[in-house]
Amino acid sequence: MNDRSRSQWISLVLSPILMAATLAHGQEQDAEALAKAAQNPIASMISLPLQNNTNTNFGPQEKTQNVLNIQPVWPFSAGDSWNFITRTIVPVISQPALTPNGSRTQGLGDITFSGFLSPKVAGQWIWGVGGIALLPTGDKALTADKWGLGPAAVALTFKGPWVYGGLINNVWSVSGSGPNDVNLMTLQPFLNYNLPGARYFTFSPLMTANWEADSGEQWTVPVGLGYGKIFKLGKLPVNGQISLYHNVLKPTFGPDWQLRVQLQFMFPK
C-alpha cells in the first residue's frame, strides 16, 4: 500500500469517528445550555414545569398534604431591549382533614400570576422586576378568598459551574370576602452546581413569611438538597429534579418534611 492509499484509508476510517465525536460534543453543549436555561427563572423560553410537593405531618392531625403545582412559563418580546416573562402557578391540592371528624379535601387552590420585565441583553447578572397577582380561584376549603397584588423581583448569575441568585415577592390582599387579610412574602434563594452530562445539584428552598400570623408562627424555612438532570423524551428536552427539605422553622401546624419532584418540559426556540 503506497502512502496515498494509506492516507485515504486512514481518512475513511477516522472520518466517521471524528464526526461522531463532534456531534456528541455539540449535543453535550446543547444539553448544558438547556440546563442553564432550566435553572434561570426568567429565561426567554416557553416551559411547563409540573412540580409535586408532598408535605408530611401537616395540620393538627399530622397527616400528609400533597400539592401539584402546574407552572407554565411564557415569555413575550417587549420591544427591542426587553422581555416580559410570565409565570403562573396553578396548585392542585389534596389536603388532609383539619379536625378529628373531618375528611380530606381535594381541588384547585388559589392561582398566582407573576410578570417580570427583563433585559434581552444581560450583563454579569440576569435580573427581572415586576409584580405578582393572587386570584381567589380555589375551592371553598382551599382558598383565602382574596384578590391580592404585590411586587416581585429576581436576580441570578452564572460563575463557572455555579448558579446562584434568588426570587422574592410579597402579596397583599386588596379585596375579597375572606375573613383573613393576606400579607405573604415568598423568598426563594437558589444555589446550583452543574456537573458534566447536564446534571446538577440544587439548593432552592421556598421560604415564606405570613406577616398576618402571630409572632413565632410567621416563618417557614426549609433546608435540604436536590439533584437534577436534563434528558429527552423523543426530541423534547425535559428537566427532571428531585429534592428533599426539612422545615427547621415552621408554624405549629406546618409540615415537617417536603419531598419535591419536578418535570419541566422545555420548548426552546
Closest by Cα among 128, 131, 130, 107 to 118? 128
Which residues, other chains included, contact 102 with Cβ-Cβ below 8 Å and sequence gap of 6+?
none
Q: Provide the pLDDT confidence category of residue 23 given band limits of 50, 70 and 90.
A: very low
d(CA 23, CA 170): 46
pLDDT tens digits, one per residue of 133-142 = 999 999 988 9
Q: Average model confidence (pLDDT) for the chain? A: 90
Domain definitions of the chain by residue range: 3-267
| pLDDT at residue 25 greater than cutoff 80 | no
**How confident is the model at residue 15, as a pLDDT?**
46
Looking at domain 3-267, what is its CATH homologous superfamily?
A: monomeric porin ompg (2.40.160.40)
**How confident is the model at residue 3, as a pLDDT?**
55
| pLDDT at residue 62 greater than cutoff 90 | yes
**Is the separation of the CB atoms in 180 and 144 below 8 Å?**
yes
Q: Measure CA 179 to chain center.
A: 31
Closest by Cα among 101, 96, 107, 102 to 63? 96
pLDDT tens digits, one per residue of 66-108 = 999 999 999 999 999 999 999 999 999 999 998 988 899 999 9
Burial of 12 (0-12, 13-18, 19+ CB in 10 A): exposed
| pLDDT at residue 145 greater than cutoff 50 | yes
Q: Provide the pLDDT confidence category of residue 159 given band limits of 50, 70 and 90.
A: very high
For residue 186, give the C-alpha cell: 415568598
Burial of 41 (0-12, 13-18, 19+ CB in 10 A): buried
d(CA 140, CA 145): 8
pLDDT tens digits, one per residue of 164-203 = 999 999 999 999 988 899 999 999 999 999 999 999 999 9
**How confident is the model at residue 106, as a pLDDT?**
96
**How confident is the model at residue 30, as a pLDDT?**
67
